Amino acid sequence: MTDTPQILLVHHLKALKLPTFLREYDKVAQLCAAEGVDHPRYLMRLTELEMIDRERRMVERRIKAAKFPTVKSLDSFDFLALPTLNKMAVLELVRCDYIERRENIIAVGNSGTGKSHIALGLGLAACQKGLSVGFITAAALVHELLEARDEKRLLRLQRQLAGYKLLIIDELGYVPLSPTGAELLFEVFSQRYERGSTIVTSNLPFDEWTSVFGSERLTGALLDRLTHHVHILEMNGDSYRLAQSKSRLRRTKSKPPPAPTTEE
């Protein structure tokens, strides 16, 4: 018995990796028949659905590969809570032109002001633009670099880090680095210099970075590379997280106690 055209069509669409085409072709055919749509427009509708779905899947893969601790958009960032931050400058960065120009971003400010949220939002925007993104804290990155050196796979890890269009290094300054760790982290910045964009968040002003790297010479060389082509986001202000916690506490206290229940 020969295969029916429908079975062959399913086989071919699977082989061509067109899952949306496979899922939607019959439903779209019925709609187009009811509307009197011709074959070219029918095919155009199917290909548009396939392209939209493929782009969605690609964005999801890029987000997963970036290893964000959580997915956050700048749409949910409360710019009113941090009036010192230039909202228009941040929204301009969402276009990701700075990545094409291989420029860096440094978000500096005290703890709880939303530096990581801004970095995550810009990372998400880059994924949506089709760019490769990596996210990691400074402490975790140094740990990975030291581990890779001990296991003789440092070169492979360095190539991976250098290959990202955008690398986000979060929480620089929260943990002092060993001399070896500082040198390995410096190498990451050095290898990305004018080859890829890097976002750094830090709770320390630049003049205190020596306390993290332990060497004025190394810190000076790092800042020279990192700030050559840079957008600086100053994010000093009241803790955003603390304000949210206080607000939640006030709402809890203002709620009336539950009415007592009567037992029958």
pLDDT of residue 100: 96
pLDDT of residue 37: 87
Please determine, for residue 248, whether its predicted confidence score (pLDDT) is greater than 90.
no
pLDDT of residue 238: 64
Mean pLDDT of 178-197: 95
C-beta separation of 199 from 119 below 8 A? yes
CA distances from 101 to 65, 224, 231, 233, 234 (A): 23, 17, 12, 18, 21
pLDDT per position as a tens digit, 87-138: 999 999 999 999 999 999 999 998 889 999 999 999 999 999 999 999 999 9
Please determine, for residue 263, whether its predicted confidence score (pLDDT) is greater than 60.
no
Please determine, for residue 247, whether its predicted confidence score (pLDDT) is greater than 80.
no
C-beta separation of 50 from 20 below 8 A? yes
Q: Over the chain, what is the mean pLDDT? A: 89
pLDDT of residue 243: 52
pLDDT of residue 181: 95
pLDDT band at 3 (very low <50, low <70, confident <90, very high): low
pLDDT band at 1 (very low <50, low <70, confident <90, very high): very low
Please determine, for residue 249, whether its predicted confidence score (pLDDT) is greater than 60.
no
- The dihedral sign for the CA sequence 110, 115, 116, 117: positive
Residue range(s) occupied by CATH 3.40.50.300 in the chain: 67-244
Burial class (CB in 10 A: 0-12, 13-18, 19+), 145: buried
Among residues 191, 141, 127, the alpha carbon closest in space to that of 162 is found at: 191
Which distant-in-sequence residues (6+ apart) come within 8 Å of 125 by Cβ? Answer: 74, 93, 94, 96
Higher pLDDT, 109 or 263: 109
Among residues 135, 184, 178, the alpha carbon closest in space to that of 158 is found at: 184
pLDDT of residue 241: 53
Here the tokens at position 110 are 């005290």
Name the CATH superfamily, with its identifier, for domain 67-244: P-loop containing nucleotide triphosphate hydrolases (3.40.50.300)
In the chain, the amino acid numbered 56 is R
Mean pLDDT of 210-218: 93
Q: Map the chain to HEC letters.
A: CCCCHHHHHHHHHHHCCCHHHHHHHHHHHHHHHHHCCCHHHHHHHHHHHHHHHHHHHHHHHHHHHHCCCCCCCHHHCCHHHCCCCCHHHHHHHCCCHHHHCCCEEEEECCCCCCHHHHHHHHHHHHHHCCCCEEEEEHHHHHHHHHHHHHCCCHHHHHHHHHHCCEEEEEEECCCCCCHHHHHHHHHHHHHHCCCCEEEEEECCCHHHCHHHHCCHHHHHHHHHHHCCCEEEEECCCCCHHHHHHHHHHHHHHHCCCCCCCCCC
Entry field: residues in the chain = 264
pLDDT per position as a tens digit, 132-163: 999 999 999 999 999 999 999 999 999 999 99
Here the tokens at position 88 are 């228009």
